[in-house]
């Protein structure tokens, strides 16, 4: 049932009209990347117009204020936020089956266990090497800029109780890597146990000499994967609509808390700058010298996946589109894209496991005036690297990684609570960095193993199902 706040309904109507315009432009074959930018700009405008602390709402409150001081116009973007939650929910619903089917399909397509070891070893190396680079650059830039110094904020009265019970003990994290109840882990999108379960099933399949009796199982996996990829294509078509809602919701979320965010602008700028640098410069160098591909063309072809990550703030939610782009637009063979990109959604994520927690930790060190030695900064980097193992790339991962680094490094969680409001802002840039890292690693592995089809990359061959 609709709220009695007619302004919330009006905001929804404005978004609906914007959707009609997006649909019109899309049918006219309007440039896809430019359409995404226009959608984001439109969303920001809607957020500025209807957010609870905007000039329009302030004027209406003056006009409609009653004697008791009751405010009629609040939560004006509630239905727009609902669109965001629905889209994220739908995309994440495909995560568990996609990971299971992708790993099964990739490993079963390998000839033997030796090839599996080769593919796994190369994928791990490039994913983790990427994360190490992000940690090193983050420590250097954060120290050079001095994030956290001369910040006029206080942690008095802030409570860290909601974060104190987050499990960050290594023994618990390690135990969580292994499956306990496969159906529960599938329903909860617990990525590492799902990957291990799929690997065990696939290795068992490879170990059979007579695979003819198992042919129905292999065909069933491939058929389900093809159906899921078709659904993925439908979801990708909705990206411009989702981005508009995300932009509006982000502005509405910031709202009147802008005064609290202003002192943290340096932190925001450093994190966004590092994410962009790592995405396009470091990622571009990996693509150029590791995979031997044109970085500009590479990122143009990967853009749909990066925009899904931008809008959902979830590497796993972007995983179906990442795999689809790698196979149909970049030319990475399915066995490599399925395996490496899936692995990259749970480890080696430079945005969430490197740039974000390390910047926040150095902020705490400078903000509190703690004297840190080079050895302590090295230890901080090692902690962040350890946290990068098995960190599921879902919305909310930033809380887990930052909390794990803070508690392991002995930093007060109250400082993290102070910084939490900026998470949503920088989250839109963290995730594309994760996506590009996984995609670059897949392209490099494909080049090294001879599984890269340059005809697809240069549009010299039929690409099959493409999504813009």
Read off the CATH number of the domain in which 332 is found: 1.10.3860.10
Asked if residue 377 lies in contact with residue 139, where contact means CB atoms within 8 angstroms, the answer is yes
Residue 114 pLDDT > 80, yes or no?
Answer: no
Whether residues 60 and 128 share a domain: the answer is: no
Whether residues 83 and 146 share a domain: the answer is: no
User: Is residue 248 one of the residues assigned to a domain?
Assistant: no
Q: Which tokens hold the place of 221?
A: 């996996």
Whether residues 75 and 97 share a domain: the answer is: no
SS (H, E, C) 58-114: HHHHHHHCCCCCCCCCCCCCHHHHHHHHHHHHHHHHCHHHHHHHHHHHHHHCCCCHH
Asked if residue 322 lies in contact with residue 99, where contact means CB atoms within 8 angstroms, the answer is no
What's the average model confidence in pLDDT over 408-432?
78
Whether residues 20 and 144 share a domain: the answer is: no
Of 73, 89, 105, the one marking the end of a domain is 89
Quote the CA–CA distance of 378 and 179 in Å, as a whole number: 33
| Structural domain containing residue 365 | 93-239+256-457
Quote the CA–CA distance of 125 and 122 in Å, as a whole number: 5
User: Is residue 467 one of the residues assigned to a domain?
Assistant: no
Interval 254-283: pLDDT, tens: 655 566 567 778 888 999 999 999 999 999
Continuous H helices in 340-462:
342-343, 356-367, 374-387, 397-409, 413-419, 423-448, 454-457
Query: Residue 442: pLDDT band by 50, 70, 90 thresholds?
Result: very high
User: Is residue 247 one of the residues assigned to a domain?
Assistant: no
Whether residues 174 and 47 share a domain: the answer is: no
Asked if residue 75 lies in contact with residue 5, where contact means CB atoms within 8 angstroms, the answer is yes
Question: For residue 144, what pLDDT is reported?
Answer: 93
The CA-atom distances, in angstroms, between 107 and each of 193, 202, 207 are 16, 6, 11
The CA-atom distances, in angstroms, between 435 and each of 63, 69, 138, 315 are 47, 48, 18, 6
Mutual orientation of helices 374-387 and 356-367 as an angle, nearest 10°?
150
Quote the CA–CA distance of 324 and 215 in Å, as a whole number: 25
Query: Residue 46: pLDDT band by 50, 70, 90 thresholds?
Result: confident
User: Is residue 191 one of the residues assigned to a domain?
Assistant: yes
Q: Choose the weakest-confidence range: 66-80, 323-337, 380-394.
A: 66-80
What's the average model confidence in pLDDT over 436-444?
94
Query: Residue 371: pLDDT band by 50, 70, 90 thresholds?
Result: confident
What's the average model confidence in pLDDT over 89-106?
74
Which position has the token pair 């930790």? 361
Whether residues 57 and 171 share a domain: the answer is: no
Asked if residue 334 lies in contact with residue 326, where contact means CB atoms within 8 angstroms, the answer is no
Query: Residue 319: pLDDT band by 50, 70, 90 thresholds?
Result: confident
Interval 276-296: pLDDT, tens: 999 999 999 999 999 999 999
Among candidate residues 59, 40, 399, the one with its CA nearest the CA of residue 251 = 40
Whether residues 270 and 166 share a domain: the answer is: yes
Q: How many domains does the chain have?
A: 2
Whether residues 75 and 121 share a domain: the answer is: no
Of 89, 105, 126, the one marking the end of a domain is 89
Quote the CA–CA distance of 120 and 203 in Å, as a whole number: 13
8-state DSSP, 332? B
Whether residues 205 and 307 share a domain: the answer is: yes
User: Is residue 466 one of the residues assigned to a domain?
Assistant: no
Q: Choose the weakest-confidence range: 73-77, 429-433, 453-457.
A: 73-77
CB atoms within 10 A of CB 146: 14
Of 44, 73, 89, the one marking the end of a domain is 89
Asked if residue 423 lies in contact with residue 398, where contact means CB atoms within 8 angstroms, the answer is yes
Interval 199-232: pLDDT, tens: 788 888 887 877 778 888 888 888 887 787 777 7
Asked if residue 359 lies in contact with residue 140, where contact means CB atoms within 8 angstroms, the answer is no
Residue 136 pLDDT > 90, yes or no?
Answer: yes
Whether residues 79 and 121 share a domain: the answer is: no
Query: Residue 412: pLDDT band by 50, 70, 90 thresholds?
Result: confident
Whether residues 56 and 167 share a domain: the answer is: no
Asked if residue 264 lies in contact with residue 149, where contact means CB atoms within 8 angstroms, the answer is no
8-state DSSP, 4? S
Whether residues 402 and 420 share a domain: the answer is: yes
User: Is residue 381 one of the residues assigned to a domain?
Assistant: yes
Quote the CA–CA distance of 305 and 284 in Å, as a whole number: 16
């Amino acid at each position: 049932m609709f709220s009695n706040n007619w302004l919330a309904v009006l905001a929804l109507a404005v978004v609906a009209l914007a959707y009609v315009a997006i649909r019109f432009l899309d049918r006219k074959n309007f440039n896809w990347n430019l359409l995404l930018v226009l959608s984001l700009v439109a969303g920001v405008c809607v957020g500025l117009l209807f957010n609870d602390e905007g000039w329009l709402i302030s004027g209406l409150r003056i006009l409609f204020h009653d004697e008791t001081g009751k405010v009629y116009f609040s939560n004006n973007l509630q239905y727009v936020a609902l669109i965001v939650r629905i889209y994220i929910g739908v995309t994440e619903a495909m995560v568990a089956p996609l990971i299971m089917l992708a790993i099964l399909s990739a490993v079963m397509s390998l000839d033997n266990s030796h090839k599996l070891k080769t593919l796994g070893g190369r994928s791990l190396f490039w994913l983790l090497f990427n994360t190490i680079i992000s940690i090193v650059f983050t420590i250097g830039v954060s120290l050079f800029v001095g994030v956290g110094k001369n910040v006029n904020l206080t942690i008095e009265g802030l409570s860290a109780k909601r974060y104190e019970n987050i499990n960050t003990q290594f023994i618990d994290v390690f135990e969580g890597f292994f499956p306990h109840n496969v159906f529960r882990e599938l329903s909860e999108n617990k990525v590492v146990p799902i990957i291990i379960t799929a690997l065990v099933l696939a290795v068992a399949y490879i170990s059979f000499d007579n695979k003819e009796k198992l042919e129905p199982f292999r065909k069933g996996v491939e058929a389900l994967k093809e159906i899921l990829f078709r659904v993925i294509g439908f979801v990708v078509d909705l990206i411009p609509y989702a981005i508009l809602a995300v932009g509006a919701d982000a502005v509405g979320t910031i709202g009147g808390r802008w005064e609290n965010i202003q002192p943290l602008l340096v932190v925001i700028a450093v994190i966004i700058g590092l994410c962009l640098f790592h995405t396009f410069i470091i990622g571009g160098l990996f693509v150029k010298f590791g995979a031997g591909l044109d970085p500009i063309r590479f990122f143009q072809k990967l853009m749909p996946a990066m925009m899904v990550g931008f809008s959902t703030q979830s590497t796993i939610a972007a995983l179906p589109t990442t795999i689809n782009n790698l196979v149909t637009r970049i030319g990475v063979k399915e066995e490599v894209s399925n395996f490496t990109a899936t692995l990259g959604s749970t480890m080696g994520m430079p945005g969430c496991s490197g740039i974000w927690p390390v910047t926040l930790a150095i902020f705490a060190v400078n903000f509190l005036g703690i004297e840190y030695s080079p050895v302590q900064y090295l230890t901080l980097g090692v902690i962040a690297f350890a946290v990068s193992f098995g960190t599921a790339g879902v919305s909310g991962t930033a809380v887990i990684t930052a909390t794990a680094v803070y508690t392991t490094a002995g930093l007060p969680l109250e400082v993290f609570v102070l910084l939490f409001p900026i998470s949503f802002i920088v989250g839109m840039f963290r995730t594309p960095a994760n996506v590009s890292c996984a995609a670059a690693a897949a392209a490099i592995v494909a080049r090294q193993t001879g599984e890269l089809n340059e005809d697809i990359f240069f549009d010299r061959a039929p690409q099959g199902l493409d999504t813009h």
